[in-house]
């Protein structure tokens, strides 16, 4: 990196659009979606997909709801051509789905592209040539007029070969490649020359795809480009303005969303943003961003985990853990304060009525994970950064233990210590095992071996006779009280063993039907002031309470 004044790079400038309108608009309509996974995404793979992999991904894209799918570059490779023919000849294309193929503006490539589409119901012929000053100078060594003529001559060739597809509904798409760093006036000049040659109509409009082939500037400049283009072009009603952003600056999603505000009608991209360099636009993110704002994208991501599995298997790529919506950790909170807020939000939503008619309002979660096939169990995971709310949430959701709120801190500290000492995340089963070891399995110094309760006719009090082991010595204790726990406490007092005060007791059921168990929680304060909870779980409500008291007794020692 240069250490003094930077002379190697310079700002890209701005668009003269002082009365821009896009900042005051909202995205209130769904664009046409076009997946380019099978072309742009495929060409960026270290090992491109074969026909089998492309077919599986094509089937997935159709099931999601894409009605325009760029299936490849059939004039560039035999595999690409064979895939197009397989889809058409074996009638694997659902009704209404348009097959889009990419071609350069060269006669033999255009002819080969038409051959690949014979028999298709709907097709989009995607023609392109690069228009930027850099490409004109470095790659082609041609003037503006010569570059424009390449595009126009290409369109004339497309019209020439239309007779080869008499039964196919053909739409033309034209891309001035590297639109992002082409002079907007020149881009418009080329696109209008293309329109003049093609002669589109309102019924069969041309697609003008304006690609940010390389993302070079901030998204607001991209939006200005799109709005300027839409405002200044003639016969706007005969063109569909399409976006194709890349992610070189990490703002491809923002550039697309602002481009839609600026007047674009269509979006090209890939699942999870696979593409050259830093990737294409992520269609999943843009679509679900709309969904989270109350606008259904007309794409079905209800089983996003399954979509991700097919994508990863067919492409060999992986979705990052923090990838929006699709990553393993995006609905996960490790921070204690976040976990507590999520738990409170979930609990309040259940209390107030968890229905689709109720506005989603849970802290830190922009959408309901269930809407895209994720589960609540994945939301909170535990490591050394986690807090009491997260641990309580896991024990509640996974194991049905509704801990008293005052118990949360001591359980949180216990589990946090284990995660910290092992320097790793704890699975739900490990959290429960830690809880079980501390609260349910401690047998020292006091252990309840057996007990019996009875109530004499006409008496209000309950008698309790228990066999206990204290510091390794077995003994029987007897007492009476207004309930089993009170009777047991009085039995311990008879042996001068009651050196505590019972502060809290509560109980709830776990499960339902014949498998129902009772969970009891008792809080004691020892004579030296130590306060701790104990827990007991048993099919007997009575016994779970006694076990909870013994647990608390041992934890205050």
Which CATH architecture group holds 446-555?
A: 2-Layer Sandwich (3.30)
Which part of the chain is CATH 3.20.20.70? Answer: 22-315
pLDDT tens digits for 278-320? 999 999 999 999 999 999 999 999 999 999 999 999 999 999 9
DSSP for 148-188 reads: HHHHHHHHHHHHHHGGG-TTSEEEEEEEEETGGGS-HHHHH
Per-residue pLDDT band for 338 (boundaries 50, 70, 90) equals: confident
pLDDT tens digits for 232-276? 999 999 999 999 999 999 999 999 999 999 999 999 999 999 999
- 3-state per-residue secondary structure call for 11-57: CCCCCCCCCCCHHHCCCCCCCEEEECHHHHHHHCCCCCCCHHHHHHH
| 368 SS3 class | coil
Which part of the chain is CATH 1.10.287.1400? Answer: 336-440
Element containing residue 106 per DSSP (H, E): none
Give me the residue label for tokens 């006694």. 546
Which part of the chain is CATH 3.30.160.270? Answer: 446-555
Per the prediction, the chain carries an average pLDDT of 94
Q: Which of 67-81, 137-151, 363-377 has the lowest mean pLDDT?
A: 363-377
Class of residue 428 by CB neighbours under 10 A (exposed 0-12, middle 13-18, buried 19+): middle
Determine the pLDDT at residue 18.
95
CB crowding 223-246: b at 16 or more within 10 Å, else e = bbbbbbbbeebeeeebbbbbbbbb
pLDDT tens digits for 128-163? 999 999 999 999 999 999 999 999 999 999 999 999
Looking at the domain 22-315, which fold is it?
A: TIM Barrel (3.20.20)
pLDDT tens digits for 392-426? 888 998 899 999 989 999 999 999 899 889 988 88
Per-residue pLDDT band for 543 (boundaries 50, 70, 90) equals: very high
Around 511, how many Cα atoms within 13 Å sit in the side-chain half-sphere? 11
Q: Which of 143-157, 342-356, 541-555 has the lowest mean pLDDT?
A: 342-356
The model scores a pTM over 0.85? no
Rounded distance between C-alpha atoms, residue 493 and residue 489, angstroms: 6
The CATH class, in words, for 336-440 is mainly alpha
């Amino acid at each position: 990196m240069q250490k003094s004044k930077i002379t190697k790079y310079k700002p890209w400038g701005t668009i003269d659009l002082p009365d821009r309108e896009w900042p005051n608009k909202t995205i209130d309509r769904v664009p046409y979606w076009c997946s380019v996974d099978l072309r742009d995404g495929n060409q960026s793979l270290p090992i491109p997909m074969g026909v089998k992999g492309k077919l599986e991904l094509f089937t997935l894209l159709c099931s999601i709801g894409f009605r325009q799918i760029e299936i490849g570059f059939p004039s560039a490779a035999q595999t690409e051509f064979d895939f197009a023919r397989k889809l058409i000849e074996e009638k694997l294309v659902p009704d209404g789905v348009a097959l889009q193929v990419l071609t350069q503006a060269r006669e033999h490539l255009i002819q080969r592209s038409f051959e690949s589409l014979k028999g298709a119901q709907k097709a989009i012929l995607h023609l392109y040539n690069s228009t930027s000053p850099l490409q004109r100078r470095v790659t082609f060594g041609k003037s503006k007029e010569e570059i424009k003529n390449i595009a126009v001559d290409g369109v004339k060739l497309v019209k020439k070969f239309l007779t080869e597809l008499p039964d196919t509904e053909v739409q033309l798409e034209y891309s001035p490649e590297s639109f992002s760093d082409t002079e907007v006036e020149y881009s418009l000049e080329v696109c209008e020359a293309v329109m003049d040659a093609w002669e589109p109509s309102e019924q069969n409009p041309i697609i003008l795809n304006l690609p940010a082939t390389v993302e070079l500037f901030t998204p607001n400049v991209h939006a200005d480009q799109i709005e300027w283009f839409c405002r200044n072009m003639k016969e706007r009603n005969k063109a569909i303005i399409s976006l194709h952003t890349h992610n070189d600056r990490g703002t491809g999603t923002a550039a697309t969303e602002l481009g839609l505000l600026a007047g674009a009608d269509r979006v090209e991209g890939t699942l999870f943003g696979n593409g050259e360099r830093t990737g294409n636009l992520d269609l999943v993110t843009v679509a679900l961003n709309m969904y989270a704002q109350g606008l259904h994208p007309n794409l079905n991501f209800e089983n996003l985990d399954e979509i991700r599995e097919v994508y990863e298997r067919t492409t060999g790529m992986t979705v990052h853990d923090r990838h929006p919506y699709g990553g393993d950790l995006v609905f996960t909170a490790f921070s204690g304060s976040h976990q507590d807020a999520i738990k409170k939000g979930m609990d309040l939503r259940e209390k107030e009525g968890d229905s689709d008619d109720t506005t989603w309002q849970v802290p830190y979660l922009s959408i309901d994970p269930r809407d895209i096939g994720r589960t609540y169990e994945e939301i909170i995971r535990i490591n050394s950064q986690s807090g009491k709310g997260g641990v309580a949430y896991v024990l509640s959701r996974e194991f049905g233990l509704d801990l008293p709120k005052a118990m949360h801190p001591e359980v949180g500290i216990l589990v946090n210590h284990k995660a910290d000492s092992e320097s790793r995340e704890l699975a739900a089963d490990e959290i429960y095992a830690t809880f079980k070891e501390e609260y349910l399995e401690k047998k020292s110094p006091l252990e309840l071996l057996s007990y019996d309760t009875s109530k004499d006719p006409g008496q209000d009090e309950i008698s309790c006779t228990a066999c206990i082991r204290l510091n390794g010595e077995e003994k029987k204790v007897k007492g009476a009280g207004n309930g089993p726990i009170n009777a047991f406490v009085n039995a311990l007092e008879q042996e001068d063993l009651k050196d505590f005060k019972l502060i809290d007791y509560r109980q709830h059921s776990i499960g339902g039907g014949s498998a129902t168990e009772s969970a009891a929680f008792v809080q004691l304060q020892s004579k030296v002031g130590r306060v701790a909870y104990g827990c007991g779980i048993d099919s007997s409500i009575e016994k779970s309470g006694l076990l909870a008291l013994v647990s608390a007794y041992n934890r205050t020692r």
